[in-house]
Amino acid sequence: MKKFRIMGLFVGILLLTNCSDYLNVVPDGAATLENAFSNRTNLEKFFYGCYNYLPNYAHPFNYPGHIGGDEIWFDVDNGMGNRSGGRIAQGQQNSNDPYHNYWDGANDGKRMWIGIRDCNIFLENVDQVPDLPEWERTRWKAEVKFLKAYFHFFLLQLYGPIPIMDTNIGVSASPEEVRIYREPVDDVIEYIVTLLDEATKDLPVIIEEMTTETGRATKATALAVKAKALVWAASPLFNGSYVYYRDFKDKRGVQLIANNDDPEVIRARWQRAAVATRNAIDTAHLAGHQLFEFQRGFEVMSDTTALKYTLRGCVTERFTYNREVIWACTNSNNEFQNWCTPKMYTNYPGTAELSATLKIAEMYYTRNGIPIDEDPYWDYETRYETRVDTGTWHKFYIGAGETTAKLNYYREPRFYAHLGFDRGIYELLANSDEEALVIKQRSGEVHGLVFQDCHPSTGYFIKKAVSFRIPTTTTGPTPYRFSIPIIRLPDLYLLYAEALNESLDTPDDEVYRWVDIVRTRAGLDGVLRSWEFSLVPDKPTYKEGMREIIKRERLIELSCEGQRSFDLRRWRDAERYFNEPVRGWDFQGAKLEDYYQTRVYFSNRQFTYKDYLWPLRLSTLMVNANLVQNPGW
């Protein structure tokens, strides 16, 4: 592989600071840098400072995967509609002043290039620290290499081709030396992979000090990110098959995203991704990572309720004893929980304003483990009508004798574990099933519309983002802090199944196996068994059908975890989904017949080919004429 050596001084241009502004920082900071590497104590602060540039996955508005897609909605007329994610969700991304601008560090975007620069500064100076034990020096260097690779990967997912910042240079660089170019996606991927391979060798197998080191990189973390990078390289957005990128070249004439019509080349990419993903899975297993299962203590509850605790706890239980989580975000998620929690408190007027869209409620399977429009035993045509619960099957899902939409009946366990809805049971850590809360959220009811700017936006609470350990006896919300997962085992299992399926002409037992592991934990039969009862029983037996099944399984299992928007973009499916109207129940309806009317809350996003890659700010392009804009902007 060619040696990548791009100079760190270009950060000034990338961030739209002129050369003199950037250079002025260096003399002022020289003493500070000298102090930072004078001893272990000071170095530790600089080391953790590199971690601070990670995107904040725990923030509902600042992380691009949460607000901005089509699964989490809000009232566009209040303050949330003006946040960067809200603007993007409404189709208002632009090149004059881009939202979620991680290139320049603006509009809820972090200064990612500064983070990469600081990683380089650390790596260039760490060896001079006199009192740092060698084992710790080795580990810290590996972690910072991991971070540098991840920062490049994160930028790649948003912008496609990016500069490669391998080393920093001194302040004597000429202006022309700083005007760097974006590098081809394939070169960026190779750089990321090489850096992660270097880091993996010296990273720990496990985190031993769980209370102080949660969120730090391990071998499994690095290999998981490597697997994801190679999956992106193989996926339709970047594998060379997208016609809109055929003429995407820089001013040198360098093709920035490959042109490729050879299916065997694409197959080879998927095969490489499959090998990397399996390696990540095996390493995670060796490190003790396994699917989470809720362990009952003093609670007396049904197996149905315990399964719901499992399917919610795999996200909301703390990393210290949730070994399903491979990598977690340690930032406070209190705000996210508060925005998703129903009104359960006597002195708190608020209620959840972040809601799952009706589309997401329809995405989950029926109790038979197949899509609602493929199940001949499920009444798809009348799903928006209502019915009263008169049987025993829904005893632990819907309040006894209550009336709700048919859409909420006879669904898979993840539907009930992940979403809260009118007259549905909302699990909190209680001593028995009898203490479970029944949601009542029609207008004027305890969990419904409070005032115009405080209401559940679509009718579906995001239960998955709220710990079942939060207390409800307090007068105001008291979130239970947990570390939001960045990567969980099912993410890797389903990536592996996807890569295997794309590597083969026809899916085999190994493809089914990894999907079925996820389904079995969710209380469902395996793929082949479930689709026997479908309107399209042969769907899992051919590549295209299994591809659709794997995609849907990912969208369900990882729903509302910040993953959907990224998957839909790499699959090039975002145009299909993001342009659909945002729908929900009429939260202003007080009567049954008024509440259960489907309402369109937004309908004119107009996502097109240009939106798959985010724009560079026009003024940034003016400062560095060697940078080219993404197609369509």
State the DSSP string of 418-484.
HEEETTBEE--S-SBGGGPEEP--STTSTTS--BTTBS-SSSEEEGGGS-TT--SSSSS-------E
Give 321's contacts (C-beta < 8 A, 6+ positions apart): none
Residue 239 has pLDDT above 60, yes or no: yes
599-632 confidence digits (pLDDT tens)? 999 998 999 999 999 999 999 999 999 999 999 9
Residue 490 has pLDDT above 80, yes or no: yes
The H or E element containing residue 357 is none
Residue 496 has pLDDT above 70, yes or no: yes
Q: What percent of the chain has pLDDT over 70?
A: 91
- Nearest C-alpha neighbor of 75 from the set 601, 507, 620, 521: 601
Largest CA distance in the chain: 79
20-60 confidence digits (pLDDT tens)? 232 223 333 445 788 999 999 999 999 999 999 999 999 98
Lowest mean pLDDT among 29-38, 269-278, 329-338, 588-597: 29-38
70-114 confidence digits (pLDDT tens)? 999 988 777 677 889 999 999 999 999 999 999 999 999 999 999
Lowest mean pLDDT among 73-87, 324-338, 369-383: 73-87
pLDDT band for position 451 (cuts 50, 70, 90)? low
Q: Using an 8 Å Cβ cutoff, are 208 and 15 in contact? A: no
Tokens standing for residue 319? 């990393």
What pLDDT is attached to residue 348? 62
φ/ψ of 116, rounded to 5, equals -65, -40
For residues 236 and 239, give the distance between their C-alpha atoms in angstroms, rounded to a whole number: 5
What pLDDT is attached to residue 450? 67
Residue with tokens 């392009």: 621
What pLDDT is attached to residue 22? 25
- Nearest C-alpha neighbor of 339 from the set 454, 468, 483, 425: 454
Region 526-553: mean pLDDT is: 98
Tokens standing for residue 211? 């209370």
Contacts of range 596-600, beta carbons closer than 8 Å, 24 or more positions apart? 596/384, 596/385, 596/386, 596/405, 598/358, 598/384
Residues forming beta bridges with residue 147, ordered by sequence position: none
Residue 200 has pLDDT above 60, yes or no: yes
Count other Cβ atoms within 10 Å, centred on residue 631. 19
Q: Using an 8 Å Cβ cutoff, are 165 and 111 in contact? A: no
Q: What is the DSSP letter of 2?
A: P
For residues 447 and 440, give the distance between their C-alpha atoms in angstroms, rounded to a whole number: 5
Helix and strand counts by DSSP (H, E) for the chain: 23, 12
Tell me the average pLDDT of the chain: 90
Residue 349 has pLDDT above 60, yes or no: no
Residue with tokens 């750089």: 191
**The dihedral sign for the CA sequence 437, 440, 445, 448:** positive
Give 173's contacts (C-beta < 8 A, 6+ positions apart): 7, 9
Q: Using an 8 Å Cβ cutoff, are 211 and 320 in contact? A: yes
Please give the residue that has the higher pLDDT: either 318 or 284: 284
Q: Do you know the residue count of the chain?
A: 633
Instruction: Collapse the DSSP code of 300 into the 3-class scheme (helix H, G, I; strand E, B; otherwise coil) and give the result.
Output: strand
- Nearest C-alpha neighbor of 465 from the set 551, 564, 356, 565: 356
Please give the residue that has the higher pLDDT: either 411 or 260: 411
Give 285's contacts (C-beta < 8 A, 6+ positions apart): none
Q: Using an 8 Å Cβ cutoff, are 203 and 224 in contact? A: no
Residue 493 has pLDDT above 50, yes or no: yes
Q: Using an 8 Å Cβ cutoff, are 315 and 480 in contact? A: no
Q: Set out the domains of the chain in order of their start, with CATH numbers.
A: 1-64+102-203 (1.25.40.890), 334-465 (no CATH)
pLDDT band for position 8 (cuts 50, 70, 90)? very low
For residues 14 and 71, give the distance between their C-alpha atoms in angstroms, rounded to a whole number: 32
Q: Using an 8 Å Cβ cutoff, are 579 and 550 in contact? A: no
pTM of the shown model = 0.94
* Sheet of strand 72-73, all strands in order from the earlier edge strand to the far edge: 72-73, 355-356, 460-462, 419-421
pLDDT band for position 350 (cuts 50, 70, 90)? low
Give 14's contacts (C-beta < 8 A, 6+ positions apart): 103, 104, 113, 163, 620, 624
What pLDDT is attached to residue 475? 73
What pLDDT is attached to residue 312? 96
Q: What is the DSSP letter of 624?
A: -
- Nearest C-alpha neighbor of 442 from the set 422, 472, 413: 422
Residue 227 has pLDDT above 90, yes or no: yes
